[in-house]
Amino acid sequence: MAQGVMIIAEQRDGDIRKISYELTSEGKRLADASGQELTAVLLGSNIKDKAALFGKYGAKKVIVADDPRLAKYTTDAYASVIAQIVKAAGPAILLLGASSQGKDLAGRLAAKLGVGMAQDCTKFAVEGGKLVATRPIYAGKAYAQVSYDDSYPNMATARPNVMAIIPPNDALTAEVVDAAFTLDDSAIKTKVVDAIKDESGKVDLTEADKIVSGGRGMKGPEGFDVLEKLADAIRASVGASRSAVDAGWRTQNDQVGQTGKVVSPNLYIACGISGAIQHLAGMSTSKYVVAINKDPEAPIFQKADYGIVDDLFNVVPALTEEIKKVI
C-alpha cells in the first residue's frame, strides 16, 4: 500500500536550490497532516554530504543517487533513476518543483509512473488520505482544485516562492541511504556539453524575493539602467515583459510571464508595463505589487496593491534616491 510523502530535491553544481527547502517544508506539513513520514530524494555527483540538510527541515529519510552521470541534469537520466526510486519506495504523494527543471522532469516522470500530475500548484491539502492540489487556470483568473483517483503516487509540482520554508532545526536528523538503481548509458540521449552561467550575481527570477520589471514603457534597452539602479538599492532582480524581450531590450532569461518565467516574489515593481494577460499570469501570486505607469487605465493597476500614475523616468530615480537614504 502506498504511504508517505516524497519530494524530489534540486541541485545545481552541487548547490541545493531554494525550491528544495520549500518542497521539504511543504512535504513535512502534508506528512504531519496524514500521519506519515517525509522522504527526500537527491540526485547528483559527490552530493551525499548535502543530504543531511534535509533532515533539519523535517525529512525522516534522504535517498541519494550519487553518480558522475547525474552531475548535470538530463531528462532521460533523471527520469529513469527517479522512477526506479519511486517505484521501490511506493509513496502516496510525490512533489517536485515547478521550476524549469521540475517542469521538464515531471511530465516524463509521470508517464514512466503511469499517473496523472497537477502542474504549477500554489496550495496543497490532504483529504481522505489523498492529495488535493490547487492550481491557477485561465492565466490566473481562476483556481482549480485537482483531486486524484486510486492510482499512486498523487503527483504534483509546486510553484517556486509560494510554499513557506520552515525554520531549520539542528536537533532533527534524517536517515541517509544510497539509492538502488541501474542506469544504461545508451538510454541517455542527451549530454550537457557546456553551461553558460549568469555572471551578474543576481538571484534567479524564480527564486527572487524582490523583482523590478520593465516593459515597453522603458523605451529602449538603455531605459533599464534606471531599473538596475533601483534593483541594486533594494537588492532585487530585474525582469522584463514579453514586449521588452521581443524588442531585444532584455534577454529571454529575464522574461516574466506565461511564456517566460512564473515568479512569486514578496515585492514586484512593474514599471512601464501595461499588464497584458500573459504577463499577469506570470506574476499574479506576488505578495505585493507596485505599478508605475503614466496610463491610469493600464490593466496592471487592477492587480497592483500600490499604484503611481506618472512617468517612470521621473518616479524611479527619485524612489531610488529616497531608498538609499533609509537603507
Give the domains, in start order, of the chain with CATH numbers. Answer: 5-187 (3.40.50.620), 205-326 (3.40.50.1220)
| pLDDT at site 201 | 65
| pLDDT at site 200 | 64
* Nearest residue to 197 via CA among 53, 6, 12: 12
pLDDT band at 258 (very low <50, low <70, confident <90, very high): confident
| Residues forming beta bridges with residue 41, ordered by sequence position | 8, 63
33-43 residue pLDDT tens: 999 999 999 99
pLDDT band at 196 (very low <50, low <70, confident <90, very high): confident
Cα(64)–Cα(213) distance, integer angstroms: 38
What is the β-pairing status of strands 142-146 and 130-137? antiparallel
Strands (E), the chain: 5-8, 11-12, 15-16, 38-44, 61-66, 93-97, 117-121, 123-127, 130-137, 142-146, 154-158, 175-178, 210-214, 237-240, 267-271, 288-292, 306-308
Determine which of 170-174, 192-196, 272-276 has the lowest per-residue pLDDT on average. Answer: 192-196
Examine the pLDDT at 193 and tell me if it is beyond 90. Answer: no
Specify the higher pLDDT residue, 139 or 309.
Answer: 309
Specify the higher pLDDT residue, 93 or 141.
Answer: 93
Cell numbers standing for residue 226: 534606471
Average pLDDT, the chain: 94
100-131 residue pLDDT tens: 899 999 999 999 999 999 999 999 999 988 99
Indicate the angle between helix axes 224-234 and 312-326, nearest 10 degrees.
Answer: 20
Q: What is the pTM of this model?
A: 0.87
In this prediction, residues 212-225 reach a mean pLDDT of 97
